[in-house]
A and B are shown apart, each in its own frame.
Chain A
Amino acid sequence: MQIKTKSDRFIWIDIMVTLLTLELMAYFYYGVRAVVLASVCAVVSVIAELVCLRFMHRKFTADDLGCVSDALILSLMLPAVLDFRIAAIACVFSVVAAKNIFGGRLNMIFSPAAAAYVFLYTSWKNQLLMFSEPHVRTGVFEKASSLVSSASNSFNINGKMNVTDFEILLGSVSGPAGAVSILLLAVAAVVLLFRRSISAGAFIGSISASALMALIVPASVTRAASVKYTLVTNMVLFASVYIIADRRIAPKREYYAFFYGFFLAACSYILVITTAKENAIVIMSILFTPVALGFKNLEKHIELVQIEEQKEAEMAAAAVTDGEEAADEE
């Protein structure tokens, strides 16, 4: 089943609305610093996009604003106290190396936000994985006085989180500025699914694989706790909505997208329980790019075969009609 193509601009607006809502939540917990970080990311991305398009002799259109949503996705995965320069470098990297080198929005291969995140992970891991506590507001140009590791890290190591379910739902736990607001993310996922702005197959595949793996090979004392914590930590929900189910990256056909999301999430769960790797799902999304491309190649091949079959059928039908007409004339 292939869902009718929806305009890229409408998809972008839907995604932006949900991202801005998450950004509002980030403002609530971390103050103006989170908003400034997101703005820096957005502005740098737009400038980088403009420069790249200029080099490619293309005009900047409304469709090219996709870089803003990628910048917001990235900023929501970062600690609110991250150095602005580092965030800016990551944005330039995402726009130039992960997107426009391959032809930009017309020929997307990687999720720019995921690529930029992994880039930060490999170059500034310490800064990336240390967070300020929720409700601790740091001034725009101040350095945070005390930083803590994320709640995901504590789950990966101890198999439990020392926070209430209510706090988890509202996102009042240490972690990336926007990726921990579980209730809001769940609402965003439902809205985007109903509006068909994300790949349902990839999203459902990812969530079901995470839940299933957590049930079969529990990472906590009880299976229920394992499933619960697996879904809310390590940016599983956030990445499932904005990275894995990204329509530009995931396979078009829903059942291929399901398997893509399913195996991606299953592999990242295994990585989390074997190596305690934080936010493994984002790293895995880059490693699964060839799988998504493989599925897309298969889809293209199937489409070509179907077109050929249709043509042959039409030609055969035309031949039959001609034969009948000839017989009538005789």
Chain B
Amino acid sequence: MFLVTELLSLLATNLILTQALGTSTLFIAAGNKKNLLRTAIAISVFTSVGSGAAYIINRLLPDGLSDLTLLFYTLIIGIIYVLLLTALYFIGSESFGNTRKYVHVSAFNCAVMGTLFTVTERADTYPQLNTFFNFVLSGIEAGAGFILAAFILTAAYRKLNSAKVPASFRGFPAMLVYLGLISMAVYALR
């Protein structure tokens, strides 16, 4: 019962289904199971580490300079981006050519940056969530939400790209409507 309620809350707070953040990245990832897993992992790393760093920046940045938040978040993501690429290079320089593309796709997109802003916004609304642990946890949740949404899309991928779908709607338009209907059910849960 606990698992089901957790799963439902993961759906209800899913950034893709409720806020459309990272939808195109999801579309790229869902095309191939290997792509999906690696992109999801890369995005989870960015969202969780990035959220932790966002907490520190929020603490250090004076209120009057809130317009600089984006710049600092961009710098954080930039640093994580470089560190991740360096780590991948040293871990497996042979497979680096293949794996780096997932980092490139995942670094600067709405899914990651949107998570940092959403987590910050939530912490502003509910001060009890304004802890380092909660920021990291929310980042991990966002990554898990991305994986969940990717699985939801992957399950229908074959049908949405089937020759039976009218040519004009095959692929992306059908995917959008499909995600819209799932998002509608998620909204009805609230």
A touches B in complex, CB < 8 A: yes
B160 at the interface (CB under 8 A from A): yes
Give chain A nearest CB distance to B185 CB in angstroms.
4
Q: Are A101 and B174 interface neighbours, CB within 8 A? A: yes
- Could you tell me the dominant secondary structure of chain A's interface residues? helix
Point out the residue from A103, A283, A290 that lies within 8 Å of B165, measured CB to CB.
A103
Q: Are B165 and A102 interface neighbours, CB within 8 A? A: yes
Query: Which stretch from A157-165, A175-183, A252-260, A264-272 is at the chain B interface?
Result: A264-272
A110 and B155 contact, Cβ closer than 8 Å, known pairs A118-B188, A217-B1: no
A109 and B178 contact, Cβ closer than 8 Å, known pairs A122-B188, A290-B156: yes
B5 at the interface (CB under 8 A from A): yes
Please name all residues of chain A whose beta carbon is closer than 8 Å to the beta carbon of B4 when the two chains form the complex.
Answer: 266-267, 270
Point out the residue from A97, A103, A290 that lies within 8 Å of B155, measured CB to CB.
A290
Complex interface bits, B173-184 against A, C-beta within 8 A gives 1, otherwise 0: 110011011101
A121 and B190 alpha carbons, distance in the complex (Å): 11
Q: Are A118 and B185 interface neighbours, CB within 8 A? A: yes
Complex interface bits, A103-142 against B, C-beta within 8 A gives 1, otherwise 0: 1101101100001001101100000000000000000000
Please name all residues of chain A whose beta carbon is closer than 8 Å to the beta carbon of B156 when the two chains form the complex.
Answer: 109, 289-290, 293
A107 and B11 contact, Cβ closer than 8 Å, known pairs A118-B188, A122-B184: no
Please name all residues of chain A whose beta carbon is closer than 8 Å to the beta carbon of B133 when the two chains form the complex.
Answer: none
Please name all residues of chain B whose beta carbon is closer than 8 Å to the beta carbon of A104 when the two chains form the complex.
Answer: 164
Give chain B nearest CB distance to A172 CB in angstroms.
28
Q: Are A290 and B186 interface neighbours, CB within 8 A? A: no
Point out the residue from B5, B159, B180, B187 that lies within 8 Å of A109, measured CB to CB.
B159
Q: Are B155 and A293 interface neighbours, CB within 8 A? A: yes
Please name all residues of chain A whose beta carbon is closer than 8 Å to the beta carbon of B173 when the two chains form the complex.
Answer: 101
A109 and B186 alpha carbons, distance in the complex (Å): 17
Please name all residues of chain B whose beta carbon is closer than 8 Å to the beta carbon of A275 when the two chains form the complex.
Answer: 189
Give chain A nearest CB distance to B22 CB in angstroms.
18
Please name all residues of chain A whose beta carbon is closer than 8 Å to the beta carbon of B132 when the two chains form the complex.
Answer: none
Closest to A280 in B: B189
Give chain B nearest CB distance to A142 CB in angstroms.
30
Please name all residues of chain B whose beta carbon is closer than 8 Å to the beta carbon of A100 when the two chains form the complex.
Answer: 166
Q: How large is the interface on B (under 10, 10 to 19, 20 to 34, 35 or more residues)?
A: 20 to 34
B89 at the interface (CB under 8 A from A): no
A289 and B4 alpha carbons, distance in the complex (Å): 16
Q: Are A289 and B184 interface neighbours, CB within 8 A? A: no
Closest to B7 in A: A267
Please name all residues of chain B whose beta carbon is closer than 8 Å to the beta carbon of A289 when the two chains form the complex.
Answer: 156, 181-182
A277 and B189 alpha carbons, distance in the complex (Å): 8
Q: Are B8 and A267 interface neighbours, CB within 8 A? A: yes
Q: Are B166 and A55 interface neighbours, CB within 8 A? A: yes
Q: Are B185 and A283 interface neighbours, CB within 8 A? A: yes
A110 and B181 contact, Cβ closer than 8 Å, known pairs A270-B4, A283-B188: yes
A21 at the interface (CB under 8 A from B): no
Closest to B176 in A: A101
Closest to A110 in B: B181
A101 and B169 alpha carbons, distance in the complex (Å): 6
Please name all residues of chain B whose beta carbon is closer than 8 Å to the beta carbon of A266 when the two chains form the complex.
Answer: 4
B105 at the interface (CB under 8 A from A): no
Point out the residue from B152, B164, B181, B186 that lies within 8 Å of A107, measured CB to CB.
B164
A106 and B164 contact, Cβ closer than 8 Å, known pairs A283-B188, A290-B156, A297-B155: yes
Q: Are A103 and B164 interface neighbours, CB within 8 A? A: yes
Give chain B nearest CB distance to A173 CB in angstroms.
23
A294 at the interface (CB under 8 A from B): yes
Q: Are B166 and A56 interface neighbours, CB within 8 A? A: yes
Give chain B nearest CB distance to A213 CB in angstroms.
9
Using CB atoms and an 8 Å cutoff, list the residues of chain A in contact with chain B: 55-56, 97-98, 100-104, 106-107, 109-110, 115, 118-119, 121-122, 217, 266-267, 270-271, 274-275, 277, 283-284, 286-287, 289-291, 293-294, 297
Using CB atoms and an 8 Å cutoff, list the residues of chain B in contact with chain A: 1, 4-5, 8, 11, 151-152, 155-156, 158-160, 162, 164-166, 169, 173-174, 177-178, 180-182, 184-189
Q: What are 8 A-to-B residue pairs whose CB atoms are below 8 Å?
A: A103-B162, A103-B165, A104-B164, A109-B160, A283-B189, A290-B152, A293-B159, A297-B158
19 more A-B residue pairs beyond the given contacts A97-B177, A101-B166, A297-B155, with a C-beta to C-beta distance below 8 A:
A56-B166, A98-B181, A102-B159, A103-B162, A103-B164, A103-B165, A107-B164, A109-B178, A110-B181, A118-B185, A118-B188, A119-B184, A271-B189, A275-B189, A286-B181, A287-B11, A287-B189, A290-B152, A293-B156
Shortest Cβ-Cβ A-B pairs, 6 listed: A103-B164, A286-B185, A290-B155, A107-B164, A293-B155, A103-B165
